[in-house]
Structure 1
Amino acid sequence: MSIISTVTADWLGLRQGADDAARSEALAAQAAHLIAPGPVVIHDLGSGTGAMMRWLAPRLPGPQHWVLHDGDHEILARRPPGAATDASGRPVLVTTSVEPLAELAEHSLGGASLITASALLDVITLEEAAAIVAACQHAGVPALLSLTVTGDVALDPPDALDETLRAAFNDHQRRAAGDRRLLGPDAVAVIGALFDTIGWRVRTERTPWRLGPDDEALFATWLTGWAGAAEELLPDLAAETADYLGRRRAQLAAGALRAEIQHEDVIAWPR
């Protein structure tokens, strides 16, 4: 798998509150039930600054050892100070592995109790998703894959350009990036089908961001990126998109704009 990160530590920090509020408590509880007793080893793929670990570790038994895998050593180095703790309040052991997922061999996940990822599936390809499923199958342990974008967006109040931008953004997310065709909003269906092919059980939960006036910095950043990606695909929309962003930013500044941005969490485990 060759995954090139385009995210920044600042963006990861900005979105962490919305991510934490959205993640599925039900699937986290199921993961805690499925993992084998004893020392728990979690491999987190595309870990960024470790947000998944900080949220999930207190919901799992211990003692825990987290291995954070990411191809960007600078993002890993921006992991906030302070230890995550398990369900009993014990600090977890953390090690990092700076490597592209393309170089992550199946045996690298040996001894895992759980494999996790967050905000990853929609930016990988079918081949990369199949490689993740193969690694999970080789390890023979559950996988909890969080916060995959589905493409569903609802803005309140609605605007005549919303649907055009939504469709263009989703097509942009399915774009070819070099020699890679990204899964985008099809990712949850694709990964579910791949796990089904190997006979694993799959459960999903909707995990939306719900943004409003209290989330102005994140909301404004997301809105600019969402409309900008749509415009990149449909450059003839540039003037309309600029007017749209002006309207939406004014609504946001007035505390009159809200959005539900849909994601899904997935858990898969052997039968």
Structure 2
Amino acid sequence: MSEIIEVSGEWLALREPEDARARSERLARAAARRLGPGPTAIHDLGSGTGSMMRWLAPLLPGPQTWVLHDWNTDLVDRAVNGVVPRDFDGRPVAMLTRTGTLADLDAQDLAGASLVTASALLDVLTSEEIRAVIRACVGIGCPVLLSLSVTGEVRLDPRDPLDDAVGSAFNAHQERDAGRRRLAGPSGIALAHRLFLEAGWNVRTAGSPWRLGDHDPRLLEQWFDGWLDAALEQRADLRVDGVAYRELRSAQWRRGALSALVVHTDLLAWP
């Protein structure tokens, strides 16, 4: 049976302010310049609770209709029943929802789209699912803005000799077999980039790193615990050293002496 990656609404809410700080506004404004006149339809893949919509809608012209694609109806319900975002001119956006996985996505599912977006999605898809998404986007021929794709690079300050081993184990966990699905993990963004180029599309990228420790300390704590837990699940041989490593990093976090740079890439593609 295939494993669907569970994401809690609480985690999405905690990370939303850092996501907003990290995303490339330069690429968002470049996407806005490639929209045609009149009403704008944005299809957001893996929309979750709608954080991409809340961040991007004020940067785009309207009137806007957002079509939120996600398999998790509870998360999508939070988006629909929350505060309604407004477009660049202050008009409230309209929202539609579509529930289902992305494995069978095709151009028909995106019919009428002016822009396709996704945020923090590629690493939890398989390479086949990424190919399906890119084929569908190329099939409708509208701009695509993919934000916050992990690259696998993490830098903690202060450094520790175990950082590299934990980072490598985490990246391997990101590329694990999830049931019958082998996740793309950090290689997902490079695959999407290559597929757009092979289709003859233009591609621009920009860094969108998380800078953890500068703002909400809870995000650094929860990110680190999840990062380490996944690494130790992947490599049992790290578990003994991982106990002292966790204690050290937790002590540094409690006294405000720990920070982390989690590298992401944003990508804009257009025909």
TM bin (shorter chain): over 0.9
**Shift, 1:31, TM fit:** 0.4
Q: Distance in 1 between matches of 2:179 and 2:213?
A: 36
Matched, 1:110 2:149: no
Note if 1:175 corresponds to 2:170.
no
Using the alignment, how far apart are the partners of 2:160 and 2:180 within structure 1? Answer: 35
The TM-score with structure 2 as length reference comes to: 0.96
Aligned-partner residue type, residue 136 of structure 2: A
Deviation at 1:48, TM superposition (A): 0.0
Deviations 1:224-257 (CA, angstroms, capped at 9, x unpaired): 1101111111112112112111111110110111
Is the CA contact 2:123–2:185 (under 8 Å) kept in the aligned structure 1?
yes
- Aligned-pair CA distance for 1:105: 3.6
Deviations 1:133-175 (A, max 9, x none): 1110111101000101111111111111101101111111111
Question: Which residue is 1:265 aligned to?
Answer: 266
Whole-angstrom distance in 1 between the partners of 2:270 and 2:152: 26
Structural mapping, 1:1-271, within 5 Å: 4-79=4-79, 81-212=82-213, 214-270=215-271
Once superposed, what is the RMSD of the aligned Cα atoms?
A: 1.3
Matched residues in 2 for 1:49 and 1:5: separation?
15
Taking the aligned partners of 1:16 and 1:199, their CA distance within structure 2 comes to 33
Shift of 1:129: 0.7
Q: 2:103 aligns to what SS in structure 1?
A: helix
Deviation at 1:259, TM superposition (A): 0.8
Cα shift at 1:213: 5.5
3-state SS of paired residue (2:19): helix
SS of structure 1 residue aligned to 2:149: strand
Q: Secondary structure at the match of 1:78?
A: helix
What is the rounded CA distance, in whole Å, between the counterparts of 1:64 and 1:156 in structure 2? 42
Identity of matched residues, %: 52
Contact 1:3–1:101 at 8 Å: present in 2 too? no
Q: Distance in 1 between matches of 2:253 and 2:159?
A: 13
* 1:35-56 deviation per Cα after TM superposition (whole angstroms, max 9, x unaligned): 1111000000000000000000
**For 2:98, what is the secondary structure of its paired residue?**
strand
Shift of 1:103: 4.4
After superposition, the C-alpha distances for 1:43-76 in whole angstroms (9 at most, x for unaligned) are 0000000000000000000000000010010111
Instruction: Please state how far the C-alpha of 1:116 moved relative to its aligned partner.
Output: 0.4
Moved more, 44-53 or 73-82: 73-82
Normalising by the residue count of structure 1, what TM-score does the alignment of the two structures yield?
A: 0.96
The DSSP-based 3-state class of the residue aligned with 2:91 is coil
Q: In 1, distance between residues paired with 2:235 and 2:3? A: 25
Structure-2 separation of matches of 1:170 and 1:126: 16
Q: Do the aligned partners of 2:105 and 2:132 also contact (CA within 8 Å) in 1?
A: no
Deviation, 1:3, is 7.7
Letter in 2 for 1:191: A
Q: What is the DSSP-based 3-state SS (H/G/I as helix, E as strand, rest coil) of the residue aligned with 2:215?
A: helix
